Amino acid sequence: MLLMAPQGTKKLNQWLVFNFPLEFSRVMRAVLQRVARASVSVDDKVVSSIGKGVCVLVGIGVDDNEADIDYMVRKLLTLRVFEDGQVMWKKNVQDLDYELLCVSQFTLFAKTTKGIYKMNRQGYLGLFIEEVLMVEFKPGSKPDFHASMKTAEANEMYTKFLQKLGKAYKPEKIKDGVFGAMMMVDIVNEGPVTIELDSRKFSYDDRQ
- Kindly report the CATH number assigned to the domain that includes residue 101: 3.50.80.10
Q: Which listed residue (107, 112, 113, 151) is catalytic?
A: 107
Q: Would residue 78 show up in a list of annotated catalytic residues for this protein?
A: no
Q: Which of 55, 163, 164, 147 is nearest to 106 (CA)?
A: 147
Give long-range contacts, CB 8 A cutoff, 24+ apart: 44-49: 47/177, 47/178, 48/101, 48/175, 48/176, 48/177, 49/101, 49/175
Q: How many structural domains compose the chain?
A: 1
User: What letter does residue 202 receive in the DSSP assignment?
Assistant: S
Q: Is residue 19 part of a domain?
A: no
Q: Would residue 107 show up in a list of annotated catalytic residues for this protein?
A: yes
For residue 102, the tally of other CB atoms under 10 A from its CB is 22
Q: Would residue 106 show up in a list of annotated catalytic residues for this protein?
A: yes
Q: Which listed residue (33, 105, 109, 161) is catalytic?
A: 105
Q: Is residue 134 part of a domain?
A: no
Q: How far is CA 42 from the centre of its chain?
A: 24
Cα–Cα distance between 165 and 174 in angstroms, integer?
A: 7
Pairing between strand 53-59 and 99-104?
parallel
pTM comes to 0.75
Q: Is residue 142 part of a domain?
A: no
Q: Which listed residue (7, 14, 86, 106) is catalytic?
A: 106
Q: What is the pLDDT of residue 111?
A: 82
Domain span including residue 62: 26-109+148-198
Half-sphere exposure of residue 147: CA atoms within 13 angstroms, side-chain side: 19
Q: What is the pLDDT of residue 157?
A: 97
Q: Is residue 204 part of a domain?
A: no
Q: Is residue 182 part of a domain?
A: yes
Secondary structure of residue 21 in the 3-state scheme? coil
Say if CB 22 and CB 177 are below 8 A apart: no
pLDDT tens-digit profile, the chain (208 residues):
334 333 433 333 444 444 444 444 688 999 999 999 999 999 999 999 999 999 999 999 999 999 999 999 999 999 999 999 989 999 999 999 999 999 999 999 888 776 544 444 444 444 444 444 444 455 667 888 888 999 999 999 999 999 999 999 999 999 999 999 999 999 999 999 999 999 986 444 444 4
Question: Residue 36: in which H helix or E strand, if any?
Answer: strand 29-42
Q: Is residue 100 part of a domain?
A: yes
Q: Is residue 120 part of a domain?
A: no
Q: Is residue 126 part of a domain?
A: no
